[in-house]
Chains A and B, each alone.
Chain A
Amino acid sequence: MSSRKQPKGKIRPPKKPNSADAQFNDNWDRLAQAIREIHKKNASILSFEELYRNAYNMVLHKNGDKLYNGVREVITQHLEEVAVSQVVPAFPLSGASSSQTNPNGAGGANFLKVLKTVWEDHTTCMLMIRDILMYMDRVYAKTANVPLVYDLGLDLFRDTIVRSQNYPIQNHLLEVLLQQIKLERENEIIDRTNVKASIDMLLELTDASTKDTVYATDFENKFLETSSEYYRVEGQMLVGEYDAPEYMKKVDKRLNEEEQRVRHYLSQTTEPKIRNIVEEELISKHLKTVIEMENSGLIPMLRNEKMDDLGRMYKLFGRVVKGHDEMKSAISDYIRELGKAINETVTSNTTAEGGNAASGDKQTGATVAVRWVQEVLDLKDKFDKVQNLALSNDKAFQTSFNEAFEYFINKNSKSPEFISLFIDDNLKKGLKGKTEEEVDSVLDKTITLFRFIGEKDVFERYYKQHLAKRLLLGRSVSDDAERGMIGKLKVECGYQFTTKLEGMFNDMRISSDTMTDFKEYLDKSVLEKPKLDLSVTVLTSTFWPMNLSASPRCNLPPELTKACGTFQNFYLGRHSGRRLTWQSNMGTADIRGSFKARKHELNVSTYQMVILLMFNDKQDGESLSYEQIKGESDIPEADLKRNLQSLACAKYKILVKEPKGKEINPGDQFNFNNDFTAPLQRIKIQTVASKVESEGERKETREKVEEARKHQTEAAIVRIMKDRKTMEHNLLIAEVVKQLQSRFMPNPALIKKRIEALIEREYLERATGDRRVYNYLA
């Protein structure tokens, strides 16, 4: 530290001990002089102890107010001088239009620099003044309720410099600040320290009326207004010039820049406000335009799987209120559109195929179903990926996507059947060369589609049919796989849904035990053994898809009838009170055929066996007419046509049909094809295992479903009424819908009809007072 000259002798006046006024003047003159020296940066010649003592004496002798006002005056005078001599000469050229004549803002930057110096000088001086006036601050300012001297200095600076009444300093300052920011937005390098100094200054000054900072009252609003205008123009320009990904990158950049700007030289309180402006002008106002940009908007991004761009859009648009909603609805519409296209390929395929559906080309039908499901799964995969990689697995988006899938999947009235066929396809033995794990993962995905089906009862019906065929024809991959699938369905729909399916498995197991017992029974029996091996599967009629009231008729050959009788005696002997009905439409038979070239073992359906056995009695070349076969076998017409097709029109032509052709028509003649040859010894005549239903079958299925729904609806009504005893019509309908909607969407008209039917059958009655209320009748 430097030593310094003793100031004492220099400024000490002669003593006038008896005059208080003289003492005051003496004290004040010294202080005023000292403050001037401080302003001249000459403080090193001053003695703290003396100046402090002077101020102390003044306050002690009740001259605090004179001191305070004197200080105010000296500082004001000084600041006026600073304004004239330093600030005004630094005004950017040509005043208000400086931004035009000073495109690079050099004049403005210099102005800020001068202001920075002026401000720093002022605060430095005020700190020293505060030091020597500490006694005044502590003792006088407190009791007189006036600002401390440092704060007085800030107020004086505010009123004399920043908001000078005499010079347009304020206008210049705001204009220069806004101009500097504008220059920076246009990628010019500005001196941020100068800008920051001015901003900090405005932040330190307080507006007397609002008690807010001068930054907030004078600067911030103007800044936000000009920013709003700036980004309004920029938004329009960018939307016109750039494609969607580029646009979003620009916006991202702008948001970043504004955040950085606030962090570097504005107040943090401005951050949310300027962010809102950029978001409003660059995102909200152009949401739709960007989403719908041709060749680069949301849909093209999805089409080309631009995950980065999608992710950017998700993040960016999430900043504004409607952003995600707009995205969601655009993507959902797109999913619906793609789904509609998938549905259309199916309808065009099935109608094109409709012509030859009856011609034995059944495989195509199943292929359409499998392809439909596969395409829907692919679509699902695609959007799962989008959801995962670009949308942060946003639940709201997932829900909206699901709705879109649900919508178009249920637009295809065949979707329950298709999905069941797809599962069938995957659970069939050795068809695809897929590993068990692969199949399992495909089935898991299929379950997600199953969730979207509205008519789960229809699905159940098809699933039962397809499962029955797999079980009876022994075509299942494995019990484990089947049970695994049923397990998955159980998780989705609960116990009730799968009980019957599990019952089918039990029947299969019990039947195999029964057959073992039957063989033993035959060995021990004295009866004549059947001339053929009979294998019977006993199916519980309520579990399996069969219609007892319209049980298929068929005249079986005598040997078979006899064998059936033997089994029936055995079985009914063990289980009294049961009724066995032979389902000849579901069986298969192994028979041996002697042809000219060689013998073949033929694996055929029971119906085909019945048809072929008729030719045993015929001479070579003797033919049977369609009508003869129909009459003698009594096989239902549709089944007969289909089985004759398999025998005469498919790959292996065991029968020859006259006239040739793919259709079976009344009047056709059939001959045993003695010239038949085939490389394999064992031949399987393709029975139609699974296929898309024809329109007739569909109608039939539909009727069965409707019938089942009636029962389920009635059961639900009775269940609810039994519990509640009395219920109002609308409430009852709502409750029934609630209970049934996991299986299908019952329409209120149907429910109303069922209520009426139940009233007729005296399960319910209308309440006497109120016709809208029902009572339960025990």
Chain B
Amino acid sequence: YSNFYRDLSNMLTDARDHDVIIQVGENQNRKELRAHSNILRARSEYFKIAFSDGWIIKKNDIIEFKKPNINPTVFEAILEYIYTGEFNLREKSVDYILQLIVACDELLLEELLDCAQDC
């Protein structure tokens, strides 16, 4: 499945058809990440509701979403997992992994949570 992983990974990093901008982090440690709403909806209950008619916020056809309480580097790993089903924890600090576990719990990403706890 190496192609599958690579192609989906590329979709997250290279594609120009993003329709979501997620502002992650607070103050200086802030980053705008781009993603696809359909993939987020399909892979996560949390985003499915956040992007549902009742709650969605759009500007110029782009969905805006803020997630101030999660570190951008942690959220990038989460996005990678959402897109590819995999993530890379090699050479990551314990603190990083703890942050990841907390974030997964909040976003109800149970599968990822199980993996991170095993590390």
* Contact across chains for A3 and B106 when beta carbons are under 8 A apart: no
* Contact across chains for B57 and A3 when beta carbons are under 8 A apart: yes
CA of A4 to CA of B56, assembled, Å: 9
- A interface footprint on B50-78 (CB within 8 Å = 1, 0 otherwise): 10101111110100011101000000000
* Contact across chains for A53 and B69 when beta carbons are under 8 A apart: yes
- In angstroms, how far is the closest chain B Cβ from the Cβ of A332? 70
User: Which of these, B49, B67, B106, B108, contacts A131 with CB under 8 Å?
Assistant: B49
Which of chain A's residues have a CB closer than 8 A to the CB of B55? 43, 46, 48, 131
* Contact across chains for A3 and B58 when beta carbons are under 8 A apart: yes
* Segment 125-142 of A: residues with Cβ below 8 Å from B: 127-128, 131, 134-135, 138
CA of A586 to CA of B52, assembled, Å: 108
Which of chain A's residues have a CB closer than 8 A to the CB of B7? none
* Contact across chains for B106 and A135 when beta carbons are under 8 A apart: yes
- B interface footprint on A126-160 (CB within 8 Å = 1, 0 otherwise): 01100100110010000000000000000000000
A2 contacts chain B at the CB level, 8 A cutoff: yes
A56 contacts chain B at the CB level, 8 A cutoff: yes
CA of A3 to CA of B66, assembled, Å: 14
Q: Given A49-B66, A49-B67, A56-B106, decide whether A1 and B49 contact each other with a Cβ distance below 8 A.
A: no
Main secondary structure of the interface of B (DSSP, over half): mixed
- In angstroms, how far is the closest chain B Cβ from the Cβ of A140? 13
CA of A389 to CA of B65, assembled, Å: 74
Q: Given A49-B50, A131-B49, decide whether A2 and B58 contact each other with a Cβ distance below 8 A.
A: yes
B interface size (C-beta, 8 A): 19
Q: Given A1-B58, A3-B59, A49-B66, decide whether A135 and B108 contact each other with a Cβ distance below 8 A.
A: yes
CA of A47 to CA of B105, assembled, Å: 20
- In angstroms, how far is the closest chain B Cβ from the Cβ of A156? 21
B46 contacts chain A at the CB level, 8 A cutoff: yes
* Contact across chains for B58 and A48 when beta carbons are under 8 A apart: no
Which of chain B's residues have a CB closer than 8 A to the CB of A4? 57
* Segment 615-664 of A: residues with Cβ below 8 Å from B: none
Q: Given A49-B50, A49-B66, A49-B67, decide whether A134 and B108 contact each other with a Cβ distance below 8 A.
A: yes
Which of chain A's residues have a CB closer than 8 A to the CB of B45? 134
Q: Given A49-B66, A138-B108, decide whether A131 and B57 contact each other with a Cβ distance below 8 A.
A: no
CA of A4 to CA of B52, assembled, Å: 15
* Contact across chains for A1 and B106 when beta carbons are under 8 A apart: no
Which of chain B's residues have a CB closer than 8 A to the CB of A131? 49, 52, 54-55
**Among A1, A8, A53, residue most surrounded by chain B Cβ atoms (within 10 Å):** A1
CA of A56 to CA of B67, assembled, Å: 14
Which of chain A's residues have a CB closer than 8 A to the CB of B69? 53
CA of A48 to CA of B56, assembled, Å: 8
Which of chain B's residues have a CB closer than 8 A to the CB of A3? 57-59
- B interface footprint on A464-504 (CB within 8 Å = 1, 0 otherwise): 00000000000000000000000000000000000000000
CA of A138 to CA of B59, assembled, Å: 31
* Segment 67-110 of B: residues with Cβ below 8 Å from A: 67, 69, 105-106, 108
CA of A135 to CA of B103, assembled, Å: 13
14 contacts between A and B (CB under 8 A): A1-B58, A3-B59, A8-B66, A43-B54, A43-B55, A46-B55, A47-B66, A48-B50, A49-B50, A49-B67, A53-B106, A131-B49, A134-B45, A135-B106
Q: Which residues of chain B have a CB within 8 Å of any CB of chain A?
A: 45-46, 49-50, 52, 54-59, 61, 65-67, 69, 105-106, 108
Q: Which residues of chain A have a CB within 8 Å of any CB of chain B?
A: 1-4, 8, 43, 46-49, 52-53, 56, 60, 127-128, 131, 134-135, 138
